[in-house]
Every structure is written in structure tokens, then in C-alpha cells.
A and B are shown apart, each in its own frame.
Chain A
Amino acid sequence: MSKGTLFDKVWDLHTVNTLPSGQTQLFIGLHLIHEVTSPQAFSMLRDRGLKVLFPDRTIATVDHIVPTISQTRPFVDPMAEEMMQELEKNCKENNIRFYNIGSGGQGIVHVIAPEQGLTQPGMTIACGDSHTSTHGAFGAIAFGIGTSQVRDVLASQTLALAKLNVRKIEVNGTLPTGVYAKDVILHIIRTLGVTGGVGYAYEFAGTTFEQMSMEERMTVCNMAIEGGARCGYVNPDRVTYDYLKDRNFAPKGPEWDRAIDWWNSLRSNADAQYDDIVVFDAADIPPTVTWGITPGQGIGVNQTVPTPEELSDQDRALAQEAYSYMNLQPGQPIQGTAIDVCFIGSCTNGRISDLREAAKIAKGRFVAEGIKAFVVPGSEQVKQQAEAEGLNEIFEAAGFEWREPGCSMCLAMNPDKLVGNQISASSSNRNFKGRQGSASGRTLLMSPAMVAAAAITGQVTDVRALL
């Protein structure tokens, strides 16, 4: 078992009780909710005559169903409107702070909590959404839960959980030009597999992560779950504190100094014990693209779609399924694959730095004919900041559409969807069959800069050629 890691320390500090089953009853410091996975939880609470125990430790926003073209109420889709009203009602009845559309603080739940300074080192964070792992970038233990567990957190601010093992994933060195945080995590998942992290928390350590900005660290932790790890984290440091300082919910004045001392004390000890350690060299990581139907089916942009012979017995059957679903041939170069739709956004890559990197590629160029390309900022704050920097104008001049914030075509619960077997270049996190709104739609995951490059050339392109 691990010892002396941040995970161990935070786990112990939040342990309320050991349940008869042997599981830990863990206090949840911050609970984030959204419109999709909370309405049934509030119904369960009502059915049992329970109340929200710590209403001020739950924060709500709306992101999954919101349209990105016009957000005028009522929404055109009556089902989306109903979900919206349900959330508004539940927040009001239970005294829960709600970042609604137009509040200036609305956006994808994993984008807005860090923006507000709600996400802090040493916290436990839960949300009815698997990409809650994002918040681990701050040195928090953050994980996704289902609706019955949302109910449990509402009712008790705790969860029944079994402790995870801890794997340290060390990446050292400076990333080559044109290689981004997204490539790092796609490379890790490709190497360790989509089930490699089951039963583990991933600690991302090493100089590569130390050199990353908070937004880059969020991109990495966001996709820990795609590698099977329920949570991933980076030890808090100066970069973390600089990001947090003066944000809405960050401690202020003398509390700020005490906070830093406390946060520093939570970092994994130099002699911490891990259940497993894996080491990568940043120099070995190429711009990475997925070719298949799981986030683990990735290759370097200059590589070819693997042939069955190159794969292990375990991976072969899924590869066969992927060749036929994706309509790609084994041995075919991924570069040059024609694209239909380009999507820049999501909780993985919809932050201001992502839009800046994509805008660098788009600037002064034009989206290839026949390509639909659109940019969906991760939050109202991201949108505002991007507009203040003129990024929207760069995108629009290049032929990208500039939209309102939300999850959009990451999961296509709103009107943004692929049609038929269209293929997208997407900065999101899942390339599952049907994920982007069409049962035969296809998704290639890549960094936002690579998506912009694909939009310009109309095909999968090594972004380094356009830098």
C-alpha cells in the first residue's frame, strides 16, 4: 500500500469512519452538480425525506444540454428546458449556489470550479461526471460518481469508498515543439491502456508536469479517467498558488499564508511509497491522434494505423471492430485522413490557453472548403477573455464559428452533432462509437492546435508543419 503520498494524506484527513463493510466513509469537501446527473438524486432525497446536509459545499452549473448558438429561454428543445427548470428549482429549494447562464460564471463544470477558486489543494471533490478527475491538477482528490452517490453526498456530504492504490507517473524533460499536454496524456493512455489505471489514483510527477501551467495540468488530469484511473493529481506548487491567488473563493489575507503552509504539507513526501511507478521521457512523445474507438487507440501523427500483427492478442479484436467502424485500413498513414467536422472545446481543451494555441494556427489562414469548424469556449469567463484578446475575430476571419459556452459536441446532448458517418477532428476526450451524436459518427481525438491544423488543411495534419 502507498504511504506518505498526497493521496494518503488527503484520504486520512477526510476519513469520517470505517463502515461495517470495511469501506471508508470519506468527507467530500466540494460537490459539483449539473443538470444531467442531479435531478434523480434530488428526487431520491425527497423520497427519503432527507435534506442537503451542507448546502454551501455544493455548487451547480448547467453545461451538458445548453445550446451554443442561441441560449435564449425557454430552450427550443422542451426536454432540455425541463431539465434546466428542474435544476433551477432544486438549487432554489435547497439553497445551492447556481452559476446560471448569463451569471458570468456559467460554463463546463470542470472549467468553472477552478476559475472561481473553488477547486483547491487538499480537498476531496466529487461530481456526477467522470471527468471530475480534472480538479486533481490542484492537488485535490477528485473523482466522478453516479447519481445514487450524488444523493449520498447531498444527504451526508460523504461517500462510501474503498481506498485506491497510487501509481506515480513520472514524465521528465521539455516537450518538443508542437507537442502539448493533450499529447502527453494520450501517449500515457496509449502506453498503459484504457484499463491500466483501474484501482489506481495517478500521481503525475516529474519535470514535465512541473513546467506545465495549471490549464495544461488540468488537461492531463482530465483524461486520467480515460486510462481507467478514477482520479489523477499533481502535487501543488508555486504554479498552483499563483493561479489560485485572489480568485473568488480562494482564502485571503492571513488565511492565504496559512493555506500555503497547509498545502505544502500535503505534498507527497520525498520518500513516499507508491504501489507502482512508471517513467516516461518527454522527448519520446509525438503529436498524438486516436485512430480507433477508445482513447487508448492512439498513434503518433506520423505513424500508421497498427496492423493486427503489431497488436497483442488482447487488443486485436477491438482493433478489428475499430477498423471497420472507423473505415480505416491497417497500415494506412493517419496523416492525410480527410475530415468533415472540427470541434475545439470541452473540459479537456476548452480553456483560454487552448484557444490561444488553436488561434495561432488559424491566424491568417482559412478553413478548407467543405469543412465545418467551430469553437466552443469552456465557460463564460473563457469566452469573455478570448473576446478581449480578439481570438474570436481570428477564428471568424478564418471561417470558424464562434459559439456560446457549454459541452457541445463533446457528447452532443445539445443540437451540435455529427451527421451520418461524418468524421471529426476533436479536442474532446472520448472517441467512443456514437459519442458525438450520430450512431455511425467517427471521432479522432487530438490537441486543439492539431484540430485547427486539420480545419485548415481539411485532413489530419502534423501541426508542426504550420507552426
Chain B
Amino acid sequence: MSQIQTLSGRAVPLIGNDIDTDRIIPARFLKCVTFDGLGAQVFADDRDQMQGQHPFDQSQYQGATVLVANRNFGCGSSREHAPQAISKWGIRAIVSESFAEIFFGNCVAMGIPCVTADPAVVTELQQRIAANPQVSVTVDLEAMQVRVNDFVAPVQMGAGPRSMFLSGTWDACGQLVAQADRIRQTAANLPYVSWSQAAS
């Protein structure tokens, strides 16, 4: 597994609070048994309504790898299809004022760092990117900074997830599975684990 310390690339600003996962990927696209086709369907209804003017359609933002969003990004349904769709479109890091918890957890498990910044910083970033879509934005998890040219601002991320990215252990599955003995021990101490065997 790979360590994730710094990500740089062109960015796409997405303005608006409380953008929920139903908007990121409408439910009809969840009728699938793989995540493969989701990149084309990300924000399908919003893009349809904005007729080419949605940032994910605008030519200047094609190829962007950093998403800059506002408050409570990814709220609502737990569907991992949402970060999967964003990632399949090309995004590798997200900066936002705040994230919904399940969305954040999904992103960690997928290796997409999500950092938060003050509203003023987010707005400044969004304005700079809109003014110069070619500019490169750097998300630095070691320095906990976001940088665009001479603009440098602090970003935040919980210590746990941060260390998982830095050490390359964001995919917890292997670590969890390795504890099989302890897991069995914990289970054996829980009274209900043996009761439920009694079910018909």
C-alpha cells in the first residue's frame, strides 16, 4: 500500500453547502454490482440541469485532481458509490469546510485524503482556481497546508486518519484481519455472541 504525503494537481471548485451523496451520484446509478461506470455519472442530475456549466463539465477543469468544496460535503446516504464516482472522474484529494462523517470514512478507506480549511480559505482557493484554472494546488499532509502559488494556508485532518495516509496504512483491512485471535477473544467475552445461536 502506498503512502500519501503530498498531492498536487489542477483543481475544480464546487460551490455550495450540504451537497449530499444523492446529488453526487443519484440512486438510479446504484443499480450496479461494480463501481466501474460511475465516473461518467458523477453529479448526473446537477450537470444535466446546468447544461454544460457544471464545473465537472467545464473544459477548464477537465483533468483536475483536487476538489475544493464547502460545508458538510457528502452528507446523507452512506453510499461509497459517491466517493467512488468522484474518484473515477479523477479526483485524488478533497479540500472542504467540513465533511459528513461516513463520507469522510469512505474516502479514508479508499485512500482519498479529505482535509478541512476555514471558510475564508476555501473561498480564497475557489476564487484563485476560477481565476486561473491551470494553477496547481498542493495538499500537503506533512506540513498540513494547502498551497497555490504564494498562497499558503493551514488545513486540518484528524490525527488518526492523517497518520494512516502518511504511513500508507489507510486501507485498514490487512491490519484488522491480522488480529484474528484478539477478535475471537473479544467476541468470547460478549455474552450475546452465544445467545443468538439459539435462534430457530
Contacts and interface: CB of A to CB of B under 8 A. Distances in A.
Interface of A: 13-17, 19-23, 25, 27, 29, 36-37, 39-40, 43, 48, 50, 53-54, 56-57, 64-65, 77, 79-80, 82-83, 86, 116-118, 120, 122-123, 128-130, 143-149, 151-152, 155-162, 194-195, 198-199, 225, 228, 230, 248-252, 255, 258-259, 262, 293-294, 314, 317-318, 321, 411-413, 430, 432-435, 437, 439-440
Contact of A259 (B106, B187, B192, B197): B192
B78 interface: yes
Nearest to A116: B199
A439 B49 contact: yes
A383 to B, nearest CB: 21
A153 to B, nearest CB: 9
Contacts of B27: 411-413, 435, 437
A128 B78 contact: yes
Given A249-B199, A437-B28, 9 more contacts: A19-B172, A21-B160, A21-B169, A57-B193, A79-B31, A128-B78, A146-B109, A152-B109, A321-B16
A428 to B, nearest CB: 12
Given A162-B160, A198-B101, A255 B110 contact: no
Contacts of A16: 179, 182-183, 185-186
Interface of B: 16-18, 20, 22-23, 26-28, 30-35, 45, 48-49, 71-72, 75-81, 83-84, 98, 100-103, 105-106, 109-110, 158-161, 163-164, 167, 169, 171-173, 175-177, 179-180, 182-183, 185-187, 189-193, 195-200
B173 to A, nearest CB: 5
A251 B193 CA distance: 10
Contacts of B195: 249-251, 255, 259
A80 B46 CA distance: 24
Contact of A198 (B22, B100, B189, B196): B100
Contacts of A143: 102
A206 B167 CA distance: 45
A40 B22 contact: no
A23 B79 CA distance: 22
A123 B190 CA distance: 9
Contacts of B81: 147
23 contacts: A23-B160, A36-B79, A40-B35, A43-B33, A53-B177, A65-B31, A82-B33, A86-B33, A130-B102, A147-B84, A147-B106, A149-B106, A155-B176, A156-B176, A160-B172, A194-B72, A228-B101, A249-B195, A249-B199, A251-B195, A318-B17, A411-B77, A430-B20
Chain B CB count within 10 A is highest, among A54, A149, A437, for A149
B98 A195 contact: yes
B32 A79 contact: yes
A21 B186 contact: no
A84 B106 CA distance: 24
A411 B179 CA distance: 38
Contact of A149 (B109, B161, B200): B109
**10 nearest CB pairs, A to B:** A146-B106, A148-B109, A146-B80, A439-B45, A156-B176, A160-B172, A147-B80, A144-B78, A251-B195, A39-B33
A146 B34 CA distance: 14
**Interface centre among B80, B159, B182, by most A CB within 10 Å?**
B80
Contacts of B191: 258-259, 262
A116 B200 CA distance: 10
Nearest to B18: A294
Nearest to A26: B186
A91 B64 CA distance: 40
A54 B187 contact: yes
A36 B30 CA distance: 7
B189 A413 contact: no
A148 B192 contact: no
A139 to B, nearest CB: 12
Nearest to A315: B17
Contacts of B18: 194, 293-294, 318
Contact of A439 (B26, B72, B83, B186): B26
B30 A14 contact: no
Contacts of A14: 186, 190
Contacts of A259: 191-192, 195
B169 A27 contact: no
A306 to B, nearest CB: 16
Given A53-B183, A156-B180, A21 B33 contact: no
Contacts of B164: 21, 23
A27 B181 CA distance: 12
Nearest to A251: B195
A161 B176 CA distance: 11
A246 to B, nearest CB: 12
Contacts of A123: 192
Contact of B179 (A21, A36, A156): A156
Given A27-B190, A152-B173, A294-B18, A158 B197 contact: no
A245 B44 CA distance: 47
A196 B53 CA distance: 32
Nearest to A132: B78
B190 A130 contact: no
Contacts of B84: 147
A434 B45 contact: yes
Contact of B22 (A15, A22, A118, A432): A432
Contacts of B182: 16-17
A251 B179 contact: no
B176 A152 contact: yes
